[in-house]
Amino acid sequence: MSEYVRMPGEWEPHRGTIIIWPFRPGSWPKGATEAADAFLKVIRGIAKSEEAFVVVNDSCKETARRMLGGLEGVTLVEASTDDSWARDIGPTFVKTEDGTVKGINWSFNAWGGEVDGLYASWDKDDAFAEQFLHRFGYEMIDAAPFVLEGGSIHSDGEGTLLVTESCLLSKGRNPSMTKEQIEATLKHFLGVQKVLWLPRGIYNDETNEHVDNVCAFVKPGEVVLAWTEEKSDPQYELSKACLEYLQQERDAKDRKLVVHKLPIPAHPILVEKKDLEGYVFEEGEDVREIGERLAASYVNFYFTNKAVLVPCFGGENTQSDKRAMEILATLCPHREVIGIPARAILAGGGNIHCITQQVIQ
């Protein structure tokens, strides 16, 4: 690849958003009924201002059609995937100097392959990006066999990329490459000049701590960082290490970063006995356990053309939800901030940003 490309910031204009209807029994229990309700709310939020490309597998397409009920702004896309993490298996869209939009196809290995991957078979997920690009007529930039998930990168649109060391340097992704080689690959395919390597992510994040759960740009030069003041919380040291790193770094434009703290839910969200009812795990698939702490973070929000979709958890975290939305409303004054009840998505292993992938304009 010789021509210059740029990975836009997520807040830049979208043609639409890819989202994959939930169906996998090992991620979405009870026939994915609770997850489907949450996904539907996300889709409605997207469709208010851009096209929602709703991908449906054979097992769920009739349910999706019924629940969507002819919602305007939705395009159904029939395809086979292993799960519903559009951020990680979808193409990463970039722009060339003349404004042409192209899509990058990375290799996907279920967040760690045979080392610590979350399920044993991922061929359908790995093939999805190429299929989507072909279906909608986008030229593909093939980055395979380099392993990367969309949730592990976050761009400011002006040459700076956020990643975490814990994820990109994990042994299950590109073990034969050095940190310097990985960085050079990111610069090459995404057109960035500066990669900021945060040390850690969110505690117990099973993706090896994707950056999109701990830190995200809200505009060039400004980020939100998942935070807690509770020193006894295992997240404290992780967020503190990230803050210290960000405070000493500058972006590609030589700006000192403005860091806004975005508190995590005040009450940790743990897997309860009732949560385990209805899961059907395949051999080799990661399982849930009672008392397991879920990687809840408000940083896992998503920009649409006119809104910010924010995960909310309710119950004893209702005040935390409100505080997060107020902070994001202040930081994103030209967008509507929409809270989405998202505990059912969290129980699957991610959140709103994880199930969405922007198709840039």
pLDDT at 1: 52
pLDDT for res 277:
87
First to last CA, the chain: 21
> Tens place of pLDDT for every residue, the chain, 361 residues?
557 899 999 999 999 999 999 999 999 999 999 999 999 999 999 999 999 999 999 999 999 999 999 899 999 999 999 999 999 999 999 999 999 999 999 999 999 999 999 999 999 999 999 999 999 999 999 999 999 999 999 999 999 999 999 999 999 999 999 999 999 999 999 999 999 999 999 999 999 999 999 999 999 999 999 999 999 999 999 999 999 999 999 999 999 999 999 999 999 999 999 888 889 999 999 999 999 999 999 999 999 999 999 999 999 999 999 999 999 999 999 999 999 999 999 999 999 999 999 999 9
Bridge-partner residues for 52, per DSSP? 17, 74
Question: Which helix (H) or strand (E) element contains residue 68?
Answer: helix 61-68
The alpha carbon dihedral of 125, 130, 136, 140 has a sign of positive
* DSSP helix/strand/coil, 221: coil
Q: Give the tokens for residue 126.
A: 């790995």
Q: pLDDT value at position 31?
A: 93
Burial class (CB in 10 A: 0-12, 13-18, 19+), 315: exposed
Tokens of 181: 């080689």
- Please list, in sequence order, all residues whose beta carbon lies within 8 angstroms of the beta carbon of residue 269, skipping any fewer than 6 positions away: 293, 294, 296, 313, 317, 343, 346
Which residue range forms the structural domain that includes residue 93? 5-360
Which residue type, as a one-letter code, is found at position 252? A
Q: What is the Cα–Cα distance from 20 to 27, expressed in whole angstroms?
A: 13
Catalytic residue (one of 167, 215, 312, 354): 354
159: left (phi over 0), alpha (psi -120 to 50) or beta: left
The question of whether 354 is a catalytic residue gets the answer yes
CA 263 to chain centre: 18
- Say if CB 182 and CB 168 are below 8 A apart: yes
Q: Which CATH number goes with the domain that contains 36? A: 3.75.10.10
Looking at residue 319, its amino acid is: Q
The pTM assigned to this predicted structure is 0.97
Question: Phi and psi of 89, rounded to 5°?
Answer: -105, -15
| Total domains, the chain | 1
pLDDT value of position 2: 52
